[in-house]
């Protein structure tokens, strides 16, 4: 049976939404940002988050956000949400009595210190927002290993790494993360069988390495690697790009880039991981597609 919902995990927060809703806008970073999801007809769900200063009282910030979104009179009708877990402080919910209109949830997260506001564009009165979507809302600190899931690409990234760039084209999804010492890109191409008709897996790996060709040599050879994903063992290919000798004085350039590529046959996705640390890539690889 196909699950009618999908998990979206972005900048530390998780939520389950209907599969027919897709992201049309993703802005900001972990401290502040905005995401909008829509179906084929109209906007359906918006999320806005912001890290509060320590001098700001969370309850006051939540009430102010609600007033800003729905107005003074409607905000007075907002009620608390007792069914959420204890990590949400001062949760308020306003339900539009006569749709079409907006249902709005505002709360402060103890976990990340962020104020989160969720706006559901209600076009008829139903329990989708309050009974199905809101109970799945969760927040995680960026310091821990964090799940990321957008469209069909999902993975778990070690704590402390921040999203630095994204490319979300149809059939070709890519997220790049970095911290002070390492960088890693996770790329997924669909449909893999069609992609592999264009060129071999080694060819896709060589294409991925072109992004780092300026200071690093192209891989002279590639080796086989086994990637364990759940109960499955997937055959993969690994290639390394050492820094060019003439750039050895550029200490800020990584000594080597590594690329791992494999065909996830169960999902028919081509997965490419490219980064500055072998062990880091091998930790992330089994998590791609696991959510």
Least confident piece of the model among 33-37, 78-82, 100-104, 257-261: 78-82
Amino acid 1: pLDDT: 41
CATH number of 146-287: 3.40.1000
- Tell me the pLDDT tens digit for each residue of 188-235: 999 999 999 999 999 999 999 998 999 999 877 899 999 887 677 899
What three-state secondary structure class fits 62? Answer: helix
Both tokens of residue 240? 């390394």
* Report field, pTM of the whole predicted structure over 0.85: yes
**Spatial contact of 22 and 10, defined as CB atoms under 8 Å apart:** no
- Tell me the pLDDT tens digit for each residue of 1-23: 446 899 999 999 999 999 999 99
Pick from 140, 139, 173: nearest CA to 159 = 140
Amino acid 83: pLDDT: 66
Q: Where exactly are the structural domains of the chain?
A: 5-139, 146-287
Burial classification of residue 155, based on how many CB atoms lie within 10 Å of its CB (0-12 exposed, 13-18 middle, 19 or more buried):
buried
Domains 5-139 and 146-287 share a fold: yes
Q: How far apart are CA 63 and CA 77, in angstroms?
A: 11
Cα angle value 193/6/62 (rounded, 5°): 145
Q: How far apart are CA 287 and CA 228, in angstroms?
A: 9
- Average of per-residue pLDDT across 25-48: 96
Q: Choose the CATH number for 5-139 among 3.40.50, 2.40.30, 3.40.1000, 3.40.630.
A: 3.40.1000
């Amino acid at each position: 049976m196909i699950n009618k919902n999908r998990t979206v995990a972005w900048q530390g927060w998780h939520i389950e939404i209907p599969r027919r809703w897709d992201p049309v806008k993703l802005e900001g970073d972990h401290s502040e940002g905005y995401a909008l999801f829509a179906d084929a007809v109209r906007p359906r769900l918006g999320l806005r988050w912001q890290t509060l200063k320590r001098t700001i009282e969370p309850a006051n910030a939540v009430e102010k956000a609600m007033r800003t979104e729905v107005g003074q009179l409607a905000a007075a009708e907002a009620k608390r949400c007792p069914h959420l877990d204890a990590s949400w402080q001062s949760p308020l919910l306003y339900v539009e009595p006569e749709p079409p209109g907006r249902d709005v949830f505002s709360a402060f997260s103890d976990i990340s210190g962020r104020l989160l506001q969720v706006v559901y564009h209600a076009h008829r009165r139903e329990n989708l927002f309050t009974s199905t979507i809101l109970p799945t809302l969760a927040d995680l600190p960026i310091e821990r290993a964090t799940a990321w899931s957008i469209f069909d690409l999902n993975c778990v990234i070690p704590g402390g790494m921040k999203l630095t760039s994204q490319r979300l084209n149809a059939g070709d999804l890519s997220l790049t993360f970095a911290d002070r010492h390492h960088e890693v890109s996770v790329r997924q191409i669909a449909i893999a069988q069609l992609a592999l008709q264009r060129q071999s897996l080694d060819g896709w790996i060589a294409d991925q390495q072109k992004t780092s060709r300026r200071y690093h040599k192209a891989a002279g050879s590639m080796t086989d690697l086994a990637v364990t994903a759940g109960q499955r063992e997937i055959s993969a290919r690994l290639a390394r790009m050492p820094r060019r000798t003439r750039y050895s004085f550029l200490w800020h350039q990584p000594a080597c880039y590594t690329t791992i590529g494999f065909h996830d046959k169960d999902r028919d996705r081509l997965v490419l991981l490219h980064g500055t640390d072998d062990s880091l890539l091998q930790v992330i690889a089994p998590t791609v597609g696991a959510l």
